[in-house]
Amino acid sequence: MKTISSKGIVSIGCASLAILSHNALAANPAGVGPEAARSSLRSFSVAEGLEVSLFASEPMVRNPADMDVDARGRVWVTEGVNYRSSFQKWGVLQPQGDRIVILEDANGDGVADKETVFYQDPSVNTALGICVLGNKVIVSDSPHVFVLTDTDGDGKADKREVLFTGISGRDHDHGVHAFVFGPDGKLYFNMGNEGKQLYHPLVTDVPLHGEVGKIEMKPVIDLDGNEVNNHGHPYRMGMVFRCDLDGSHVETLAWNFRNNYEVAVDSFGTLWQSDNDDDGNRGVRINYVLEFGNYGYADEITGAGWGEAWTKAKTKGAPEETKVFYEWHQYDPGVVPNLLHTGAGSPTGILIYEGRVLPQIFWNQVIHCDALPRIVRAYPVQASGAGYKAETKDILTTPDNWFRPSDVCVAPDGSLYVADWNDAGVGGHNMADQKLDAMTGRIYRVAPRGKRASAPALNLKTAPGCVEALQSPNQATRYLAWTSLHDMESRAEKDLLKLWQGKDPRMRARALQLLARIQGQESKYISAALKDPNSDIRITGLRIARQLKVDLIPLVKSLAHDTSVQVRRECAIALRHNSSPEAPKLWAQLAAQHDGRDRWYLEALGIGADRQWDSFFDAWLSEVGRQCNNPAARDIIWRSRSKKTPALIASIIKDKSLTPAEREHYFRSLDFISGPEKEAALVELLTEK
Ligand SMILES: [Ca+2]
Ligand SMILES: [Ca+2]
Ligand SMILES: [Ca+2]
Ligand SMILES: [Ca+2]
């Protein structure tokens, strides 16, 4: 949902503000309750072959903020009844606090008929994230991330621990978001630009109920040795992370987003996100996330917003359609390109659909909610150079302007569940739905016509049963399977091998992640992966090798001339902060294969050369010799941050055939470099005749 910035109040908040002034009660004008909810479904359009049905509605569920579906097909919801109660005039509507509720269809008619309050406490308010992992539930609610455990299996939390703390963005849509379980057995999560920093608690156990109060904490130092905060060293704004299940070994995977609402991780370990524009600028973006990439919401060096640069560009005649590129600093060296711009929006939940129940166009694709245009849609991708290009394909939408999809999840049967916050507005510190008795919230199921909900029985005691469960499209199921298989180690190898030798690359990748983690078998499976005909498997192998801290140099050597530029992209990233004397030469070989057009590849090279520009760039200069006056070489020079960069930039700028815009493009590169070499280059340019 969208934060209302000073500009946003006018453009985004208007829907709810208008309603509030006309109707103090402000209930959904189309009616309240299950019958009204069912009748509103008649206006919904759904992708061909699919149907939408009502799973739950008020009063069973109100204002669902985030959702997860467990291995039994039960729907877990964090409610936002007390949304913004700490500062809005409607105040606390539910003194017992917001609920985390489990909704269940006990009699099998496709409609929820049982609700269990897993947890309710005033210390949890409109939690932006929920992730069900066995008997543990991770709840993201700035300033804390809680782990709630149901120790006796009655569906109610018995124990509360703090996983992370010290996060800003309390009572804000841009704080810490949902956790997801990755194919590597790690947790992935993100926070928007109000999250600001991440702390480890010194004591994790806290009482089950009540305010946590002040707790001892220490800043998170990530695996790169950086303190995780937004001060620009190097991280800024919204960030995305990976860590172990216990919160240790934090990696800051990418940064400089505005409100990257959730992260989705596919079976190859590739990350996908959306990001919200500054409200009213029609600049929502979908991102394929390059690990360790800067995504350019603020100026990398100064931290400045984009308005000034855009105003300047506009006076020089930049067309309106380039504004979105300025918004995300896409013309700056060191900023990763966006996958897709989707216009105005309030992006929310996201997932990667690796099931086989929806029509084929949705297989292996990102599925995403956008509450402003009231749509759930997919972005089918095709590889394009070292990155991707994407289209949009709608799944669910309606003209009913109270439909506000806040989250989407895959159930064990491969169907989708969609949470509907249901309001005239899209959050952003406001709501029309201010009266508890009439407060709405809906959960829909989207599935092929006539396909009844089901949850396959699991057998997690045996390796074949676990390998079966590992192939589930449902994340909560995969978590159970993964952890059992990981515990079985070599006892599961035979059955994992069958999956590894199968046809579906994503299922093979899931097996590979576990096979390569059987003690003593690491290098055998990594090397098999690196020789695989499928480029995504080679990429997965390299990513596993990085995580397992295997010596990467021989691996990058074997892949440095790979036929797939995506594999070479991954090689560049693998060289990041590698101190081997062989790293510069390998980077130079990768850089020499840049085609002068592929910005994804260029940025991957930049990520790989971080902190080692001088040696890497020198190696590249020796590699290309005098052949550095062509588009590819000029691109590398423009992106580079070496002591030799300024003189080379100056010599490009002196080329009389450059257009003024091209000259400006190269000049901009100098803003990212400091030191005497830059001063000398500037003097040279100023005194040029
Ligand atoms: Ca039922
Ligand atoms: Ca319990
Ligand atoms: Ca979600
Ligand atoms: Ca509502």
Maximal C-alpha separation, the chain: 85
Question: If DSSP codes are grouped into helix, strand and coil, which group holds residue 461?
Answer: coil
pLDDT at 93 over 50: yes
Question: If DSSP codes are grouped into helix, strand and coil, which group holds residue 134?
Answer: coil
Task: Please give the distance, rounded to the nearest whole angstrom, from the Cα atom of residue 126 to the centre of ligand 4.
Answer: 12
From the CA atom positions of the chain, what is the Rg in Å? 25
pLDDT at 57 over 90: yes
Q: pLDDT confidence of 278, banded at 50, 70, 90?
A: confident
pLDDT at 24 over 80: no
Angle at alpha carbon of residue 549, lines to 603 and 498, rounded to 5° = 95
Task: Please give the distance, rounded to the nearest whole angstrom, from the Cα atom of residue 103 to the centre of ligand 1.
Answer: 10
Task: Please give the distance, rounded to the nearest whole angstrom, from the Cα atom of residue 137 to the centre of ligand 2.
Answer: 12
Q: Which helix (H) or strand (E) holds 569?
A: helix 565-574
Task: Please give the distance, rounded to the nearest whole angstrom, from the Cα atom of residue 58 to the centre of ligand 1.
Answer: 15
CB contact burial 17-53 (16+ within 10 A = b; e otherwise): bebbeeeeebbbeeebeeebbeebbeebebbeebebe
Q: Count CB neighbours of 412 within 10 A.
A: 25
Task: Please give the distance, rounded to the nearest whole angstrom, from the Cα atom of residue 104 to the centre of ligand 1.
Answer: 7
Q: Tell me how far the alpha carbon of residue 420 is from its chain's centroid.
A: 20
Which DSSP category does 81 fall into?
T
Question: If DSSP codes are grouped into helix, strand and coil, which group holds residue 525?
Answer: helix
Task: Please give the distance, rounded to the nearest whole angstrom, from the Cα atom of residue 473 to the centre of ligand 1.
Answer: 23
Ligand approaching nearest to the C-alpha of 425: 4
Task: Please give the distance, rounded to the nearest whole angstrom, from the Cα atom of residue 63 to the centre of ligand 4.
Answer: 4
Token digits of residue 328:
């995300």
Task: Please give the distance, rounded to the nearest whole angstrom, from the Cα atom of residue 22 to the centre of ligand 1.
Answer: 38
Question: If DSSP codes are grouped into helix, strand and coil, which group holds residue 628?
Answer: coil
C-alpha–C-alpha distance, residues 33 and 37, integer Å:
6
Ligand approaching nearest to the C-alpha of 273: 3
Ligand approaching nearest to the C-alpha of 180: 3
Task: Please give the distance, rounded to the nearest whole angstrom, from the Cα atom of residue 418 to the centre of ligand 2.
Answer: 27
Residues 108 and 161: beta-carbon distance below 8 Å: no
Task: Please give the distance, rounded to the nearest whole angstrom, from the Cα atom of residue 106 to the centre of ligand 1.
Answer: 5
Judge residue 145's burial from the number of C-beta atoms within 10 Å of its C-beta, 0-12 exposed, 13-18 middle, 19 or more buried. Answer: buried
Residues 263 and 350: beta-carbon distance below 8 Å: yes
For the segment 114-148, what is each residue's pLDDT rounded down to a tens digit?
999 999 999 999 999 999 999 999 999 999 999 99
For the segment 240-262, what is each residue's pLDDT rounded down to a tens digit?
999 999 999 999 999 999 999 99
Task: Please give the distance, rounded to the nearest whole angstrom, from the Cα atom of residue 62 to the centre of ligand 1.
Answer: 18
Task: Please give the distance, rounded to the nearest whole angstrom, from the Cα atom of residue 53 to the centre of ligand 1.
Answer: 12
Interval 598-605 mean pLDDT: 98
Question: If DSSP codes are grouped into helix, strand and coil, which group holds residue 650?
Answer: helix
Interval 317-327 mean pLDDT: 94
Judge residue 527's burial from the number of C-beta atoms within 10 Å of its C-beta, 0-12 exposed, 13-18 middle, 19 or more buried. Answer: middle
Mean of the per-residue pLDDT values of the chain: 95
Task: Please give the distance, rounded to the nearest whole angstrom, from the Cα atom of residue 56 to the centre of ligand 1.
Answer: 9
| First-last CA distance in the chain | 55
Task: Please give the distance, rounded to the nearest whole angstrom, from the Cα atom of residue 55 to the centre of ligand 1.
Answer: 8
C-alpha–C-alpha distance, residues 394 and 5, integer Å:
28
Task: Please give the distance, rounded to the nearest whole angstrom, from the Cα atom of residue 336 to the centre of ligand 4.
Answer: 36
Ligand approaching nearest to the C-alpha of 127: 3
Query: What residue type is assigned to position 290 of the chain?
Result: L
Q: What is the pLDDT of residue 6?
A: 32
Ligand approaching nearest to the C-alpha of 69: 3
Interval 410-426 mean pLDDT: 97
Q: Count CB neighbours of 13 within 10 A.
A: 20
Ligand approaching nearest to the C-alpha of 128: 3
Q: Count CB neighbours of 87 within 10 A.
A: 8
Ligand approaching nearest to the C-alpha of 159: 2
Task: Please give the distance, rounded to the nearest whole angstrom, from the Cα atom of residue 1 to the centre of ligand 4.
Answer: 13
Task: Please give the distance, rounded to the nearest whole angstrom, from the Cα atom of residue 210 to the centre of ligand 3.
Answer: 26
Task: Please give the distance, rounded to the nearest whole angstrom, from the Cα atom of residue 50 to the centre of ligand 1.
Answer: 20
Task: Please give the distance, rounded to the nearest whole angstrom, from the Cα atom of residue 161 to the centre of ligand 4.
Answer: 30
Ligand approaching nearest to the C-alpha of 452: 1
Q: pLDDT confidence of 628, banded at 50, 70, 90?
A: confident
Q: What is the pLDDT of residue 524?
A: 98
Task: Please give the distance, rounded to the nearest whole angstrom, from the Cα atom of residue 191 to the centre of ligand 4.
Answer: 24
Q: Which residue has the tokens 């901009």?
A: 668
Ligand approaching nearest to the C-alpha of 155: 2
Question: By C-alpha distance, which of 306, 282, 395 is closest to 45?
Answer: 395
Task: Please give the distance, rounded to the nearest whole angstrom, from the Cα atom of residue 159 to the centre of ligand 2.
Answer: 8
Angle at alpha carbon of residue 225, lines to 554 and 600, rounded to 5° = 55
Q: What is the DSSP string of 578-626?
A: ---TTHHHHHHHHHTT--SS-HHHHHHHHHHHTT-HHHHHHHHHHHHTT
Total residue length of the chain: 689
Residues 496 and 467: beta-carbon distance below 8 Å: yes
**Half-sphere exposure of 570 toward its Cβ, with a 13 Å CA cutoff?**
26
Phi, psi of 412 (to 5 degrees): -60, -25
Ligand approaching nearest to the C-alpha of 423: 4
Task: Please give the distance, rounded to the nearest whole angstrom, from the Cα atom of residue 176 to the centre of ligand 2.
Answer: 26
Ligand approaching nearest to the C-alpha of 137: 2
Task: Please give the distance, rounded to the nearest whole angstrom, from the Cα atom of residue 677 to the centre of ligand 1.
Answer: 72
Structural domains of the chain ordered from first start: 8-448 (2.120.10.30)
Say what angle helices 535-547 and 522-530 make with each other, to 10 degrees. Answer: 150
pLDDT at 21 over 70: no
Q: What is the pLDDT of residue 328?
A: 97
Q: Where are the alpha helices (DSSP H) in 110-214?
A: none
Ligand approaching nearest to the C-alpha of 407: 3
C-alpha–C-alpha distance, residues 49 and 583, integer Å:
52
C-alpha–C-alpha distance, residues 527 and 218, integer Å:
39
Token digits of residue 26:
């402000």
Q: What is the pLDDT of residue 689?
A: 60
Peptide bond into 143 cis (omega under 30): yes
pLDDT at 12 over 50: no
Task: Please give the distance, rounded to the nearest whole angstrom, from the Cα atom of residue 66 to the centre of ligand 3.
Answer: 6
Task: Please give the distance, rounded to the nearest whole angstrom, from the Cα atom of residue 208 to the centre of ligand 2.
Answer: 11
Residues 65 and 56: beta-carbon distance below 8 Å: no
Q: Tell me how far the alpha carbon of residue 479 is from its chain's centroid.
A: 19
For the segment 570-597, what is each residue's pLDDT rounded down to a tens digit?
999 999 999 999 999 999 999 999 999 9
Q: Which helix (H) or strand (E) holds 498?
A: helix 493-500
pLDDT at 7 over 60: no
Judge residue 94's burial from the number of C-beta atoms within 10 Å of its C-beta, 0-12 exposed, 13-18 middle, 19 or more buried. Answer: middle
Task: Please give the distance, rounded to the nearest whole angstrom, from the Cα atom of residue 533 to the centre of ligand 3.
Answer: 33
Ligand approaching nearest to the C-alpha of 64: 4
pLDDT at 68 over 70: yes
C-alpha–C-alpha distance, residues 580 and 553, integer Å:
8
Task: Please give the distance, rounded to the nearest whole angstrom, from the Cα atom of residue 129 to the centre of ligand 1.
Answer: 26
Q: pLDDT confidence of 309, banded at 50, 70, 90?
A: confident
C-alpha–C-alpha distance, residues 603 and 290, integer Å:
9
Ligand approaching nearest to the C-alpha of 426: 4
3-state helix/strand/coil string of 285-345: EEEEECCCEECCCCCCCCCCCCHHHHHHHHHCCCCHHHHHHHHCCCCCCCCCCCCEEEECC
* Percent of the chain topping pLDDT 70: 96
Ligand approaching nearest to the C-alpha of 160: 2
Q: What are the E-state strand segments in 483-583?
A: none
Q: What is the pLDDT of residue 280?
A: 76
Interval 315-337 mean pLDDT: 95
Task: Please give the distance, rounded to the nearest whole angstrom, from the Cα atom of residue 80 to the centre of ligand 4.
Answer: 9
Task: Please give the distance, rounded to the nearest whole angstrom, from the Cα atom of residue 32 to the centre of ligand 4.
Answer: 10
Task: Please give the distance, rounded to the nearest whole angstrom, from the Cα atom of residue 407 to the centre of ligand 4.
Answer: 14
CA distances from 8 to 295, 314, 429 (A): 22, 22, 11
Ligand approaching nearest to the C-alpha of 119: 2
Ligand approaching nearest to the C-alpha of 118: 2
Phi, psi of 584 (to 5 degrees): -60, -45
Ligand approaching nearest to the C-alpha of 427: 4
C-alpha–C-alpha distance, residues 358 and 47, integer Å:
10
C-alpha–C-alpha distance, residues 556 and 562, integer Å:
10
Task: Please give the distance, rounded to the nearest whole angstrom, from the Cα atom of residue 627 to the centre of ligand 2.
Answer: 69
Judge residue 639's burial from the number of C-beta atoms within 10 Å of its C-beta, 0-12 exposed, 13-18 middle, 19 or more buried. Answer: buried
Q: Count CB neighbours of 558 within 10 A.
A: 15
Residues 398 and 381: beta-carbon distance below 8 Å: no
Q: What is the pLDDT of residue 606?
A: 98
Query: What residue type is assigned to position 11 of the chain?
Result: S
